Chain A
Amino acid sequence: MEQRLANSLIMTVNEKKFIENALVSDIRVDGRRPFDYRNLTIRFGSEDGSSEVQLGKTQVLAFVTGQLVQPYRDRPNEGSFAIYTEFSPMADPSFEPGRPGDSAIELGRIVDRGLRESRAVDTESLCVIAGKLVWSIRIDLHIIDNGGNLVDAANIAALAALSTFRRPECTVGGEDGQELTIHPPDVREPLPLILHHFPVAVTFGFIGKENIVVIDPTHYEEEVMGGSLTATLNTNGDVCAIQKAGGDGVLQSVIMQCLRIASVKAGDITSKIKNAVESYNTQRSLRKIKRHNPSPAVSNVAKHHTERLVLGANEFNVGSQSNEHDTMNEISSTANGFSNRDPNSQSVDTDALRASQPSCATPLDKLNEESTQVNPETKSTQQSSDMNSSASTHEATDIGLQENQSNTLKDAVKPKHKRRKKSTSNVNAS
């Protein structure tokens, strides 16, 4: 019940009046128009299911994890999910460590309502053995910086993290169909969650006696506003949840107008989230392929990249990060493979490779076997398809790799075209 937290923001009368007066002329303190959102940046962490969202100065992290548990008795074939919020004291001087306060609980419940009741997360697909084992998804939201409008940022972070989360694949086997095997991620590709739609939260603030409406309030505007309305909508024109918890009264027409504006903004935000998730997925599949033999089409470009590439690049930024952006461009420009100094590949038997070069068909299987022995992360089906599509030059690439790794200093000095000649001479020699 503590609504007056210690160290809460105290604004002078002048500051409050300034914000209100500026709004009368449709100007906001940070230069935005009343219905403009701040800059939205969505980044993903190195693990699946972790995201970081920056909305103006507000920063929120979201982590999604899964666990196998017993289902609820009244829902034996449905999984469950729960949202936990943590308002870190570093975000705002008024946040206290320990039990979540009122606003933390309210934020958690708004995000939860948007996902749960509207059935955005498909819980039936989370069932493994009906009545015995289901997946329980846990979403943790951490507020890192409170620049205002935590609800929207937290919602976007939760959606982004849910889209990139992967759960291990489980198969039920055994005589009675009760034996469960959970496949580790390197044996079988983990599965994404099924999201039916994206419920996006849009927050409006009502400021002043005339109830001027602003979208995406900053924390200064939140102190001044008399009431707020959070509308959670998806792009199908459905309203998933609305929260207007008291505060100044507004006319019904104003509410409907806010909903219409919110549906437009929801469309923008949904497309941003989808773009970010897509590029993350492309990076992820590129990362997967680097562990296996790279495709021949990019062999030369690949060699060029060997020295320059960061091993297992951790952060794939969608927003504006200039350094990593360049490398990212190069990565995305190479079709589906870039090689780097994968320590495992060094242990591949070069003699076996050389011996297998003349004939294409049979050694492919041999190479398969060898690589599977050496490289525990290979997936046989994908690899064989890769192999079949790239016959002899494939081995050349590997050998090229070997050669490359043994004389990288020279390569660093030598220009590109000379290296190309070297690889072709290798093929001709053998």
Chain B
Amino acid sequence: MEYVSPEGLRLDGRRPMEMRQLRAELGAVSRADGSAVFEMGNTKVIAAVYGPREVQNRSQQMNDKALIRCEYTMANFSTGDRLRRPKGDRRSTEISLVIRQTMEACIMTHLMPRSQIDIFVQVLQADGGTRSACINAATLALADAGIPMCDLVTSCSAGYLNSTPLLDLNYVEDSAGGPDVTVGILPKLDKVTLLQMDAKLPMDIFENVMQLATEGCKAVANYIREVLLENTKQLENRRGV
């Protein structure tokens, strides 16, 4: 099947190096300390952050840093066929672990010892790149909650189909069986914190694809910064500053 037409257009009309449209909204869940909705094209993800608060399970309390918990779930209606997913299935557990470890790298946990920060991420619409959207949403939610972080974490995915590196795969391109590289970076420090890849790819092509995904992450970081600045201006207005 042709994923890149001879004119250089993908199935949804994008160019190979073009990302999908980004949309973010802060404060969607009023009860949570911080929340955000993040959309990458048709993929829509909602994240809620509770914390820092007292550790619920005393045995897990850490005396020198905060305990980070993360839970990733996909809503039943998120994919094309309505599936009843078991809560603790392997994929969800792995992605929860990945998101937790990624956010742990950027949250300044040593500033909040003996406390707990919960990150809940739920996928409302899944169209490829849910992992990246979840990390971006979690970053926004943590910023909305005012939790100190050393840098934002942004994430984007890239693939390689029809001998072309493609940025930000959607579901059809993802299930084509080609490689899928998900990268998460700390933009200001320019360091890679999350890197996952599946399917085979020769090493030099992998470097190109990873580079492309990193560029995508930087574009997401710019957008997130704009959203946060806008949000802060609105808060200032409300306070009458």
Contacts and interface: CB of A to CB of B under 8 A. Distances in A.
B203 A237 contact: yes
Contacts of B194: 244-246
Given A118-B200, A237-B203, A241-B198, A252 B211 contact: yes
B189 interface: yes
A180 to B, nearest CB: 30
Given A238-B202, A241-B198, A251 B192 contact: yes
Interface size class of B (residues with CB under 8 A): 35 or more
B191 A4 contact: no
A94 to B, nearest CB: 13
B191 A245 contact: no
A105 B91 CA distance: 9
Contacts of B136: none
Nearest to B61: A4
21 contacts: A1-B71, A3-B100, A4-B59, A6-B59, A102-B97, A109-B94, A113-B198, A117-B199, A118-B199, A229-B195, A238-B202, A238-B203, A241-B198, A244-B194, A245-B98, A246-B98, A246-B184, A249-B185, A249-B186, A250-B193, A251-B192
Contacts of A246: 98-105, 184, 193-194
B112 to A, nearest CB: 16
B203 A251 contact: no
Contacts of B189: 249
Interface size class of A (residues with CB under 8 A): 35 or more
B167 interface: no
Interface of B: 59-60, 62, 67, 69-71, 88, 90-91, 93-94, 96-105, 177, 179, 181, 184-186, 189-203, 206-207, 210-211, 214
B191 A251 contact: yes
A1 B203 contact: no
Contacts of B193: 227, 244, 246-250
Contacts of A243: 195-196
Given A1-B71, A102-B93, A251 B198 contact: no
A106 interface: yes
Nearest to A249: B191
A55 B108 CA distance: 36
Interface string A5-39: 01000000000000000000000000000000000
Contacts of B104: 246-247
A255 B197 contact: no
B190 A251 contact: yes
A109 B196 CA distance: 12
Contact of B200 (A117, A227, A256): A117
Given A244-B195, A249-B189, A252-B192, A239 B101 contact: no
A155 interface: no
A239 B191 contact: no
A240 B98 contact: no
B196 to A, nearest CB: 6
Given A4-B67, A249-B105, A241 B197 contact: yes
A237 B192 contact: no
B109 to A, nearest CB: 12
B131 to A, nearest CB: 11
10 nearest CB pairs, A to B = A246-B101, A249-B191, A246-B102, A244-B195, A117-B199, A242-B197, A117-B198, A118-B200, A249-B193, A4-B60
A237 B205 CA distance: 11
A237 B199 CA distance: 13
Nearest to B135: A246
Contacts of B99: 246
Contacts of A241: 197-199
A273 interface: no
Interface in A113-156: 113, 117-119
B206 A247 contact: no
A203 interface: no
A1 B192 contact: no
